[in-house]
Amino acid sequence: MIDARGLVKEYGAKLAVDDLSFQVQPGIVTGFLGPNGAGKSTTMRMIIGLDAPTNGTVTVNGKAYGAHTAPLHEVGALLEARSVHTGRSARNHLLALAATTGVGTRRVDQLLDLVGLTDVASKRVGGFSLGMGQRLGIAAALLGDPATLILDEPVNGLDPEGIVWIRNLLKALAREGRTVLVSSHLMSEMALTADHLIVIGRGRLIADVSVAEFTHRASSDLVHLRSPESERLRTLLVGPGVHVTSLSADRLEVLGMLSDRIGDIAAAHSIALHELVPQQASLEQAFMELTRDSLEYQSTTKAPS
């Protein structure tokens, strides 16, 4: 379990993480979401002690990361920035990290196999593609058989097959009872992988919810319908909390009433319905809605002059 309390990180005048508190539970995959510059990577670096918090504390299984006797057995981390010497081979890189903690050669080879790098294990890492580098990072994260995994945008650079593979890997790791924290920008990807979400923006906590709840919140009661008697139906539907807008001669948009109820009303008055489509705001839209106010780097569309 990861327990962050009142984390603050300032880089000079820049407030990267601002009074952030959350817990990451074992046994599930927790998605760590937020727009660019939200402070995800900074938070992850603080968890493993690479950056010292300006204020606040973060513990892993009850202790600061650095206070554990075998840190690699507590937390395995894949960082955003490449953390490997380009002049060394993949296998030697893993062997060097393994040696610090007494992890054996056999495990290094098993992990190379797991991530599919056995064939290039003796090649210099400098020649690796982005995806191969990610795979090596994942092998490094698993070296100490860690109880907690922290992965900063692990799908970055992976091909579709690799994305499915990592999704399954994360789920399998969580199923074994491990704590898994994985950051991403892609809400849709997280909806498929994660069970729980921690959403931050501008270094502050925005949401700490289960994926199910987030999905539920995201689906609004907006319905599109098409009917030859749209005007008659319209008068039947309007009421307190229900807004109806005409989209065209035979099309209506109904806000505030579920499609089941609309269908029932239409049937009761023998009004034919040609279409009745509940509109679900996409998770991506919901995510953007949630984080709109905390965008660090907002894109502006400018007409060419």
Partner 1 sequence: MTSTIVPPTGPADAGLSIPEMTTDEAARLRVTQARVIRSEWLKMRTLRSSWLTLSLAVASIAGVGIVIAWSTANDWNNMRPREKAHFNPLADPLAGFNLAQLAIGVLGVLLVAGEYSTGMIRASLGAVPKRLPVLWAKLGVFTTITLVTMLPTAVITFFISQRLLSSRHIQTTWSTPTVARTVIGIGLYLTVAAALGIALGAILRNVAGAIAALVGVLLVVPVVASALPQTWGDRINKWLPSNAGQALLSVSSDNTTLSPWRGFAVFCGYAVLALTAAAILLKRRDA
Ligand X SMILES: Nc1ncnc2c1ncn2[C@@H]1O[C@H](COP(=O)(O)OP(=O)(O)OP(=O)(O)O)[C@@H](O)[C@H]1O
Residues in touch with ligand X (CB under 6 A): 11, 14, 16, 34, 36-42, 80, 185, 296
Comparing CB distances to ligand X, the nearer of 39 and 146 is: 39
Comparing CB distances to ligand X, the nearer of 37 and 116 is: 37
Nearest distance in Å: CB 259, partner 1: 40
Question: Measured between alpha carbons, how far is 170 from 38 in angstroms, rounded to an integer?
Answer: 23
Query: Per CB under 5 A, which of residues 93..152 are in contact with Mg ion?
Result: none
Look at residue 302 and give the partner it binds from ligand X, Mg ion, partner 1, none, a contact being a CB closer than 5 to 8 Å depending on partner kind.
none
Element (H, E) at 139: helix 130-142
Comparing CB distances to ligand X, the nearer of 80 and 208 is: 80
Binding of Mg ion at residue 80 (CB under 5 A)?
A: yes
What is the residue type of 119? Answer: D
Look at residue 16 and give the partner it binds from partner 1, Mg ion, ligand X, none, a contact being a CB closer than 5 to 8 Å depending on partner kind.
ligand X
Instruction: Tell me phi and psi for residue 18, to 5 degrees.
Output: -130, 95
Question: Measured between alpha carbons, how far is 151 from 2 in angstroms, rounded to an integer?
Answer: 13
Query: Sheet harboring 179-184: ordered strands across?
Result: 75-78, 148-152, 179-184, 29-33, 196-201, 204-210
Question: Measured between alpha carbons, how far is 197 from 209 in angstroms, rounded to an integer?
Answer: 5
Q: Is 73 exposed, middle or buried (0-12, 13-18, 19+ CB in 10 A)?
A: middle
Comparing CB distances to ligand X, the nearer of 44 and 174 is: 44
Evaluate whether 115 touches 143 at the Cβ level (below 8 Å): no
Comparing CB distances to partner 1, the nearer of 13 and 52 is: 52
Q: Is 240 exposed, middle or buried (0-12, 13-18, 19+ CB in 10 A)?
A: exposed
Comparing CB distances to partner 1, the nearer of 36 and 86 is: 86
Nearest distance in Å: CB 291, partner 1: 26
Question: Measured between alpha carbons, how far is 156 from 30 in angstroms, rounded to an integer?
Answer: 17
**How do 148-152 and 179-184 pair as beta strands?**
parallel
Look at residue 89 and give the partner it binds from Mg ion, partner 1, ligand X, none, a contact being a CB closer than 5 to 8 Å depending on partner kind.
partner 1
Part of the chain binding Mg ion (CB under 5 A), chosen from 37-45, 129-137, 193-201, 273-281:
37-45
- Which residues would be at the binding site for partner 1 (CB under 8 A)? 45, 48-52, 65-66, 69-73, 77, 79, 81-89, 92-93, 95-97, 99-104, 107, 110-111, 113-120, 123-124, 127-129, 131-132, 135, 140, 142, 144-145, 161-162, 165, 168-169, 172-173, 176
Nearest distance in Å: CB 101, Mg ion: 26
Nearest distance in Å: CB 34, ligand X: 5
Query: Sheet harboring 55-60: ordered strands across?
Result: 14-24, 2-11, 55-60
Binding of Mg ion at residue 42 (CB under 5 A)?
A: no
Footprint of Mg ion on this chain (CB under 5 A)? Answer: 40-41, 80
